[in-house]
Amino acid sequence: MSELSVNHLLGIKYLKESDIQLIFETADHFKEVINRSIKKVPSLRDITIANIFFENSTRTKLSFELAEKRLSADVINFSAGQSSVKKGETLIDTVNNILSMKVDMVVMRHPNPGAGIFLSKHVNAAIVNAGDGAHEHPTQALLDSYSIREKLGDVANKNVVIVGDILHSRVALSNILALKLQGANVKVCGPKTLIPKYIESLGVEVETDLVNALNWCDVANMLRIQNERLDISYFPTTREYTQQFGVNKKLLNSLGKEIVIMHPGPINRGVEITSDVADSKQSIILNQVENGVAIRMAVIYLLASKIK
Ligand code: CP
């Protein structure tokens, strides 16, 4: 297979395992490109991409913009906070105005789950979901799996635990779907109040004891508490959360093996992981960020090749 089975990247749930492998093989090529002295290729000289962000972002926004520029696409950036959305303009009107400037692809982050799916049905452009509320964050899951593959050689049969706020996390859902599609074993660990009831229907086991989870896993993906999405209190105090579900160096060293530590960012240092864990040699957090550019180049390149 040399092309994706989809015309948009709306979520991992719409991908086949062969799509993931194609994205990884394409990212391998682009990773080699971005480590050259000349980091740019002319592949998308005739493509214009709009990055429209209705929610804050550091990594995803910069990574998409860099990926697009490395591919020589024309790039326009839109942040809702400084736009006419503030004057009441709707999502479809906003995007159709942007598209009338002859834009081929839209990368969108939005607080509402399903915003990308909605957009893909109403506008004529390839849509890439850069995170839609607590629903999906597909490029994050792709770069996470790619980073596991790079570190451990393969994703299949690896034991991965996702720790923290599973209920509000688009990173958790996209990671679970991507890891299961590739044959990994997945557990989630966190306060019972932050683990959705349906989670086991995704083929995932629940472990509420962090030490058991860490002893079982090859990889621990540590998530941030999504304070901006918490409508009520899900645990007594942050201090108590850290005592039960935070990873520190003493705990890491007490395990009988070396596990890989991941985090999608932004990190709340001292809450879900301490600085000496985040910055340890077991951590691949900055490798994840580096791989994000190659993965996003691959996604954009493969989707653009379906437009032409
Ligand atoms: N991992 C991630 O999505 O980070 P940002 O919110 O900074 O983009």
* Alpha carbon nearest to ligand 1 atom 6, residue: 57
pLDDT at 25: 98
Mutation to probe ligand 1, out of 53, 56, 57 (largest number of atoms < 8 A from CB): 57
- Report the phi/psi class of residue 267: left, alpha or beta, with left for phi > 0 and alpha for psi in -120 to 50: beta
Mutation to probe ligand 1, out of 58, 221, 267 (largest number of atoms < 8 A from CB): 58
- 217: tokens are 């896993």
What is the 16 CA–ligand 1 centroid distance (Å)? Answer: 24
Any atom of ligand 1 within 6 Å of the Cβ of 292: no
Atom of ligand 1 lying closest to residue 61 CA: 8
pLDDT at 231: 66
- Alpha carbons 234 and 151: distance in angstroms, whole number: 34
Residues in the chain: 308
pLDDT at 304: 97
What is the 162 CA–ligand 1 centroid distance (Å)? Answer: 17
Show Cβ contacts of residue 279 under 8 Å, excluding neighbours closer than 6 positions: none
Any atom of ligand 1 within 6 Å of the Cβ of 248: no
Residue 213: count other Cβ atoms within 10 Å of its Cβ.
22
pLDDT at 131: 98
What is the 254 CA–ligand 1 centroid distance (Å)? Answer: 31
pLDDT by residue for the chain (308 residues), tens only, comes to 589 999 999 999 999 999 999 999 999 999 999 999 999 999 999 999 999 999 999 999 999 999 999 999 999 999 888 788 888 899 999 989 998 999 999 999 999 999 999 999 998 999 999 999 999 999 999 999 999 999 999 999 999 999 999 999 999 999 999 999 999 999 999 999 999 999 999 999 999 999 999 999 999 999 998 766 666 677 878 899 999 999 999 999 999 899 999 999 999 999 999 999 999 999 999 999 999 999 999 999 999 999 96
* Alpha carbon nearest to ligand 1 atom 5, residue: 57
Q: Which architecture characterizes domain 12-136+289-304 according to CATH?
A: 3-Layer(aba) Sandwich (3.40)
Any atom of ligand 1 within 6 Å of the Cβ of 157: no
Spell out the alpha helix ranges (H) of the chain.
Answer: 17-34, 59-70, 91-99, 115-122, 138-152, 170-181, 210-216, 238-245, 249-254, 275-278, 285-307
The helix/strand/coil state of 109 is strand
Any atom of ligand 1 within 6 Å of the Cβ of 129: no
Q: Which of 5, 47, 42 is nearest to 23 (CA)?
A: 5
pLDDT at 159: 98
- 237: tokens are 């105090």
What is the 274 CA–ligand 1 centroid distance (Å)? Answer: 19
What are the Cα distances from residue 258, in Å, to 148, 155, 215, 242, 282? 14, 17, 10, 21, 7
Any atom of ligand 1 within 6 Å of the Cβ of 264: yes
Please state which CATH number belongs to domain 138-284.
Answer: 3.40.50.1370
Domain spans of the chain, in order of start: 12-136+289-304, 138-284
Would 12-136+289-304 and 138-284 be classified into the same CATH topology? yes
- Alpha carbons 292 and 12: distance in angstroms, whole number: 16
Q: In degrees rounded to 5, what are phi and psi of residue 115? A: -60, -40
pLDDT at 236: 74
